[in-house]
Amino acid sequence: MSAVTPLGLKFDHISHGYDIGGSLLPVLENVSLNIAPGEFVALLGPSGCGKSTLLRLAAGLETPGKGQVLADTQPITAPGPDRILVFQEATLFPWRTVRGNVQAGPEARGELTGKTDRVDEALRLVGLENFGEAWPHQLSGGMAQRAAIARALVNDPRLLLLDEPLGKLDSLTRLNLQKDLIRLWQDRGFTAILVTHDVEEALLLADRVILFSPRPAQIVEELLVDRPHPRRRDDPALIALRGRLLARLGVLEDV
């Protein structure tokens, strides 16, 4: 698989809410955010603040109440395989083998013919080349999430939306998958947006960390993480940034 042309994303004055029992619960309030093509951005904030909603809007699974989301210059109105969302749960289809899951995208779009070697390659990229015929219930949490990432990558996404994909994994698996994500991002060149609660993870992976307030979410701080990869968690620059973010988060939690 060769590198892709990354997608630039623009959230333009987005306000969004959900109808809960007849009353509107505001989730996002006037959020504007530009993400450059090829950038790796982490969205950080208290849980339930609406970060995942931003990803759903970017994926096209929902349309914003106010404002618009632009992919390059085109408004996003529907889901598309160039913008793929990876969920916190691997959400593999349990009735399909790992291979069946990975090829679901090309198959659903009727593009599977002649692409089976790409499926193999996607499996190899995430280290699951020997598990193509396994059923999802036979996989560990980390392997399932790898399979979900392969299922996304096989479509050559220009934008990868990661909704806490490592949130439920044990710490060792998590470290390995963080390295893998950086490697894949560097190799393939897609734009990446990662939602996480984990300050350290955000600093290890992202070029830029966006900090959100509690619901309705607004951007309270942006940090550039201008350090080369591979990053070390004991890098003094990262430790300084971490202190700053944690202080900001602590303040937010007191509110």
Q: Which of 204, 99, 115 is nearest to 156 (CA)?
A: 115
According to the binding rule CB under 8 A, does residue 89 interact with another protein?
Answer: yes
According to the binding rule CB under 8 A, does residue 60 interact with another protein?
Answer: yes
Nearer to another protein, 49 or 159 (CB): 159
Nearer to another protein, 96 or 124 (CB): 96
Residues with Cβ within 8 Å of 29's Cβ and at least 6 positions away in sequence, in order, are 15, 216, 217, 218
String marking each residue 117-156 x if it binds another protein according to CB under 8 A: ------------------xxx-------------x---x-
Q: Tell which positions 40-59 bind another protein, by CB under 8 A.
A: 59
According to the binding rule CB under 8 A, does residue 66 interact with another protein?
Answer: no
Total number of residues that touch another protein (CB under 8 A): 27
Q: Which of 3, 108, 237, 239 binds another protein (CB under 8 A)?
A: 108
Nearer to another protein, 94 or 250 (CB): 94
Q: Which of 8, 12, 15, 61 binds another protein (CB under 8 A)?
A: 61
Nearer to another protein, 68 or 135 (CB): 135
Q: Which of 76, 85, 166, 202 binds another protein (CB under 8 A)?
A: 85
Min dist CB 74 to another protein, Å, is 16
DSSP for the chain, please give it. Answer: -----PPPEEEEEEEEEEEETTEEEEEEEEEEEEE-TT-EEEEE-STTSSHHHHHHHHHTSS--SEEEEEETTEEP-S-BTTEEEE-SS----TTS-HHHHHTHHHHHTT--TT-HHHHHHHHHHTT-TT-TT--GGGS-HHHHHHHHHHHHHTT--SEEEEESTTTTS-HHHHHHHHHHHHHHHHHH--EEEEEES-HHHHHHH-SEEEEEPSSSB-EEEEEE---PSSP-TT-HHHHHHHHHHHHHHHHHHH-
Q: Which of 10, 16, 51, 83 binds another protein (CB under 8 A)?
A: 83
Min dist CB 64 to another protein, Å, is 17
Residues at the interface with another protein (CB under 8 A) = 59-61, 79-81, 83-85, 87, 89, 91, 93-97, 104-105, 107-109, 135-137, 151, 155
